[in-house]
Amino acid sequence: MTVLHQPRVAWDTARVFVGSVHDDDLFNLLGAEVGELFGPAWQAQLGATRERLRRATDQQPGLVEAGLWRVRLEEELRGRPELAGPLRSLTTVAAGRLRQRATGSTLS
For 58, counting Cβ atoms within 10 Å of its Cβ (0-12 exposed, 13-18 middle, 19+ buried), the class is exposed
pLDDT score, position 56: 83
* Position 2 confidence tier, pLDDT thresholds 50, 70, 90: low
Helices and strands counted in the chain (H then E): 5, 0
* Position 104 confidence tier, pLDDT thresholds 50, 70, 90: confident
pLDDT at residue 73 greater than cutoff 90: yes
pLDDT score, position 3: 65
Residues 87, 37 contacting (CB under 8 angstroms)? yes
Q: Per-residue DSSP letters for 95-108?
A: HHHHHHHHHT----
The pTM assigned to this predicted structure is: 0.88
pLDDT at residue 71 greater than cutoff 90: yes
Question: Could you count the other beta carbons within 10 Å of the beta carbon of residue 22?
Answer: 11
Per-residue pLDDT tens digits for 34-61: 999 999 999 999 999 999 998 887 767 8
